[in-house]
Structure 1
Amino acid sequence: MARTKTNASLLVSQEIKQGRRLTYRVTACGAGAAVLAILQAWFAASMLAIILHHGTSSLPLAAVLFAIAALARAGLMRAEAHMAFNLGIAARRRLRNHSLNALLAIGPAGVRGTHSADLAGIVVDRVEAFDGLHARWIPAVSMAVIGPALGIIAGFIADPLAGVILAIAALLVPVGMAFAGIGAGIASQRQFTAMSRLQTRFIDRIRGISTIILAGRSNDEAASLAQAADELRVRTMRVIRVAFVSSTMLDLAAAGALIAIAIRFAAPLRNHLAATPLALFCLLLVPIIFAPLRGFAAVYQDRMTAQAAAERLADLPAAERLADLPTARAGREALRAPQADIRTVSASGLGIAFEQVCFRWSDGGPLVLDHLSFRVPAGEMLLLLGPSGVGKSSIIDLLLGFARPTSGRVTINGADIASIVPASLARMTSWIGQHPMIFAGSVADNIRFARPEAPDAEWQEAARLARVTDFAGSLPVGFDTMLGEGGYGLSGGQVQRIAIARAFLKDSPLLLLDEPTAHLDPATEREVLDSLRRLAVGRTVILATHSAIAHEFARESGVKKLDLGALKHERLRTAV
């Protein structure tokens, strides 16, 4: 936890440092507006002096200058707000791109165990929290120093004692806000935690709504969601209360400054009305000095919110570390690399080899694969056998590029997989798992996802080969039938056939199958395996399964087998 907070503080510090380099124009506009506000106060005091001395000749000039200063100030404030808004947009775009790139670089293997709502919260909510930091807080910090300093200098020039009063009042504000800021940071962190809990719980309950209804737990789950929502409400109100404390400190300091200046000029004004313009000028400096401080107080919470949001963003690898991750060489980095550093391999026939591969999921964790070696010649199939936990899915992840060996090499046609361009590896590989992703859209859209530019004749042929046509005709509008998210409306076997149709359409030379028939009934499993047999012709195939029917399928097809469970048992027996 302490390390996470340190990383979060470092991330926020880096964002502030980068933001300050980009806000000089915003700060310049704000400083110009503060100078014009002081000039407005001076012109207002001048107009009062002219009226008290019963002069009228110079009054129109002072009024015109006052109006010009007001218009110019309004223009600068508008430009300041516009530029600050654009800075917030640019910062969110940069952070969101980095977050998405980092998650893609980590790969599916790296985000296992993390709820999808939490991942969405990182890319959406926590990135959005940095908008206030860049668009408001960073410019406000500069103006909270420059604006009051300009006002205090003007006060000293007009009346040294009034300048001292203004300086003391202005210095009291940061002290009060510092005390409020400690509570604001804690409150913001708890608010984000409550929001993440509510998001996760809500998505889980929506996904499992059928189970909830069948179990008769609808009322209990509704009450649980209401409790989570109430917790978020309470946390949010605490954040607002802390913000009110900060605002109260500011109002008290401003009121104290006004009272002190009024007392300062009370005695002179009893005998000499000529001091009235000076008193008015000094009084008008109070809102000018406190306006930037008020703006800073209004956005002070943004800094605390960004700090709380950074605790999850800081867990993502930094930009300079993305190149070290298994899937991070895609995109612009690959395009910018020298031609000699980029490798592709022939896709006409792929041979796979594991050479003394050791693999563990975390440093210090147990070895999942221990000096594993095997070869699969081009166009042949290998059946990976063994109970759960022996490394079947780990082998698939290594071949997909989602993970890297702890030691040893994985090669495709003799080329180390780590040296192959990720885009090239993706093109030559088709993968079908236990739960293929079906997107909200039509059946045809889901098949075309493998190759969107494919002509109608090609995806329709892929559908025929995968036997999607066997059930598509019974759907309400055939291939144009809209499916719910996750394939709602289709059986498990129908979902797998759509995944097989994608693989037919993609026509990749390497086919990786990770328990593709799990959770299917025997009859459906035989049908799916029959489609996979047709798909496997002419391709290099690795099939990970512990299905008895799949073993039958391998025996009938003369497929080679690698029993990872037996290998592990033999190594343990040898070690003993």
Structure 2
Amino acid sequence: MITPGEGNAGAARALLRQQSKALRGHVLRPVAFGLAATITGLLGAWLVARLVAALLGHPGAGWDDLAATGALALLGIGLGLAQERSQLAAGEAARARLRDAAFARLLALGPADPRGVGERASLVVDRIEALDGYFARWLPAAALALLAPLVVIVAAFMVDGRSALVLAIAGLLYPIAMALTGIGAAAASRRQFESLERLSGRFLDRMRGLPTLVLFNRQEEEATALGTAADELRARTMRVLRIAFLSGTAMELLAAGAIACTAWRYGGFAGDPTAGVFALLLVPAFFAPLRAFSAAYHERLAATGAAAALAPLLDRPAAEGLALEAMPPRVVVTFSDVRLSYDPARAPALDGLSFRVNAGETLVLAGPSGAGKSSVLRLLMGFIRPDAGRMAINGQDAMALRPEELRRLSSYIGQKPHLFRGSIRENIRFARPEATAAQVEAAAQAARVTDFAAALPEGLDTAVGEGGWGLSGGQAQRVALARAFLRDTPLVLLDEPTAHLDPGTEAEVIESLQRLCLGRTAIIASHSGARAQLGRVLEIAAGRVPGTARQVPA
């Protein structure tokens, strides 16, 4: 499993800086509302101080001050609500932006992404959710923790310079207290997220393999293992909370000290108490943005851990290349000494493979498992790129095209086609959403989907479950064939299209495949004994055609 480490800290910080610049407008709005609320609160505190002085027998305040205090209190509430709403908007904008980017990168990587399903789900859900607080709370709180206390110190200085000095000293001591607890909090938060990712990935993977677990009577052991992982996450979460409580305690000690010093300063004040009451009211106003900063500090720690996992995905440069000017009606595929290796420590998947498929021809790649058949299809779909050699389409270097342009050229059918939750008609239309109803119906007839759909309660509008629940393997394969008919591309790629089918169903699917491949260039990876019926057979083994001279790459 890929987990964020120490080496990703720099990439995480770079990612957060980049996204902060992109979302600057969303982040500045809550800061502006927060500053306005602070100034409003200071004006209200001055009026409250005048009213308290009047209650103590010192003239100067009247009903106008009371009315103004009430108006300022309502204005402060409105500004607080506006700040909260703008913070939520900043978090939503950040999540939408990051989720779009992460999902686009995962789609671009496709099957070439080495992450497990659980880890990918954790990236686009848990990790991005953890970044919400960074933009919604941490960045506004960090800005206000710098600006709002300065405004309070200026207000205190206008009344009494010594009170302003007390607040300034408390403000200087605050970063020291935060640093003492923050060093341990960062490491604890990173370890907590690693535990969360392991638990999320393990849980999702085990849920997907639940039938296998039950079949081999391993459910009790896996339940125990999940419980152990959950206990580890609980322990790490409690460690983060303990550190957070320590930082809160340091904050309260500083606030108590500032109040004590200010109260001692004005304890023997014999004149107008307005200045003294106002100075005391400034202490909570001074520490309010620092408290918000302290409360949001764990959001920064969580975001750093989440960004460390997202950075390797989002920092990968997008694949470059040319776009097709027009869809060619026919294609010729040529492999010339193509080499591909997934792992330097293992034998190459393709070791100098060469072949040619003419326009309209069907080539069946045959050979044992691990011979390189599926790697050929992955190369043609742009999910991976060869280490050496040349892959050409119509005589032009196919690697000059963007991967998505390669996928535009082809229709793919795998061993176990995935059907999404929805109707059969919607699953066929998935291949070309803009297709008309007549085109979808024609594709269903060409793939003989209508043969079994006619017996269903709602025909092509019958709902199927996720993964094709409710349909047999042969029926699901026909739906996949209908998608290929509807997509109508010049290149057809098939990976064991008749695997796991009974002989009768296999014969029907082969008949439909022959009609699909008619007039199109087709490459089929197959173990089927009926492969000779599909087209020319090319035997490959160990990533090359047996009997050809092996060329050593320069």
Provide TM-score, normalisation by structure 1: 0.86
**2:480 is aligned with what amino acid?**
A
CA RMSD of aligned residues (A): 2.8
Q: Distance in 1 between matches of 2:128 and 2:89?
A: 15
Match of 1:48 among 49, 52, 58: 52
For the 8 Å contact 1:386–1:566, the answer to whether it is kept is no
2:304 aligned with 1:307? yes
Question: Contact 1:390–1:568 at 8 Å: present in 2 too?
Answer: no
SS of the residue corresponding to residue 129 of structure 1 reads: helix
Quote how far apart the aligned CAs of 1:72 are.
3.2
Flag structure 1 segments of 5+ consecutive residues without an equivalent.
330-340
8 Å CA contact retained: 1:344, 1:424: no
Report the Cα distance in structure 1 between the residues aligned to 2:404 and 2:16, rounded to whole angstroms. 33
Task: Give 3-state SS (helix, strand or coil) of 2:419's partner.
Answer: coil
Matched to 1:174, the amino acid is P
Is the Cα–Cα contact under 8 Å of residues 343 and 419 in structure 1 kept in the other structure?
Answer: no
Please name the residue that 2:87 is paired with. 84
Q: Deviation at 1:16?
A: 4.0
The letter of the residue matching 1:480 is D
Q: 1:147 to 1:458 in 2, by over 3 A?
A: closer
Cα distance in 1 for residues equivalent to 2:29 and 2:491: 55
> Does the Cα contact within 8 Å between 2:424 and 2:462 map onto a contact in 1?
yes
Letter in 2 for 1:23: V
Q: Name 2:538's counterpart in structure 1.
A: 561
Asked if 1 retains the 8 angstrom alpha-carbon contact of 2:540 and 2:546, the reply is no
How far apart are the structure 2 equivalents of 1:7 and 1:122? 16
SS, match of residue 567 in structure 1: coil
Provide the C-alpha distance between the structure 2 equivalents of 1:524 and 1:384, rounded to a whole number of angstroms. 22
Paired residues of 2:156 and 2:282 also in contact (CA < 8 A): yes
Q: Give the whole-Å Cα distance in 1 for the aligned partners of 2:551 and 2:490.
A: 38
Match of 2:17 in 1: 13
- Aligned pair partner of 1:481 in 432, 455, 462: 462
What's the counterpart of residue 516 of structure 1? 497
Q: Does 1:38 pair with 2:68?
A: no
Cα shift readout 1:397-443 (whole Å, capped 9, x = no counterpart): 12112222333432222333344466654443111112211112222
Matching residue's letter, 1:553:
Q
Q: How many residues align?
A: 548
1:376 CA displacement = 1.2
Structure 2 residue corresponding to 1:73, chosen from 54, 72, 76: 76
- What does the per-residue CA deviation read over 1:75-107, in whole Å, with 9 as the maximum and x for residues that have no partner? 333333333322222222221121122222223
Map 1:246-265 onto structure 2 (within 5 A): 246-265=247-266
Q: Which TM-score applies when normalising by structure 2?
A: 0.90
**Farther-moved stretch of structure 1 (436-445 vs 126-135):** 436-445
1:512-568 residue CA offsets vs partner (Å, 9 max, x unmatched): 112222333444434322321222111111111233332x435xx5x2525344836
Deviates more, 1:506-515 or 1:463-472: 463-472
Q: Deviations over 1:142-170 (max 9, x none)?
A: 11111112222322332233222222222
Between the aligned partners of 1:444 and 1:21, the Cα distance in structure 2 is: 44
In terms of mean alpha carbon deviation, does 139-148 or 30-39 score higher?
Answer: 30-39
Contact map agreement 1:344 1:420 (CA 8 A) in 2: no
Deviation at 1:49, TM superposition (A): 3.0
- Partners of 1:284 and 1:16 in 2: CA distance: 34
Q: For 1:313, give the aligned amino acid.
A: L
For residue 492 of structure 2, give the secondary structure of its aligned residue in structure 1. Answer: strand
Matches within 5 A, 1:16-415: 16-19=20-23, 23-55=27-59, 58-109=61-112, 111=113, 113-266=114-267, 268-269=268-269, 272=270, 274-318=271-315, 321-324=317-320, 342-361=323-342, 367-415=348-396
Whichever structure has more helix as a proportion of its residues is 1
**Contact 1:438/1:486 (<8 A) preserved:** yes
1 CA distance for matches of 2:357 and 2:549?
A: 25
Distance 2:224 2:342 in 1: 39
Whole-Å separation in 2 of the counterparts to 1:159 and 1:310:
45
- 1:241 is displaced (CA, Å) by 2.8
- Cα displacement (A) at 1:119: 0.9
SS of the aligned residue for 1:548 comes to coil
Alpha-carbon distance in structure 2 between the residues aligned to 1:25 and 1:207: 44
SS of residue paired to 2:103: helix
State the percentage of identical aligned residues.
45
Aligned 8 A contact 1:130 1:306 in 2: yes
User: Are the structure 2 counterparts of residues 16 and 504 from structure 1 closer, same or farther at C-alpha, using a change threshold of 3 Å?
Assistant: closer
Q: Which letter does structure 1 place at the counterpart of 2:318?
A: L
Contact 2:319–2:402 under 8 Å retained in 1: no
Q: One-letter code of the match for 1:79?
A: A
Contact 1:345/1:415 (<8 A) preserved? no
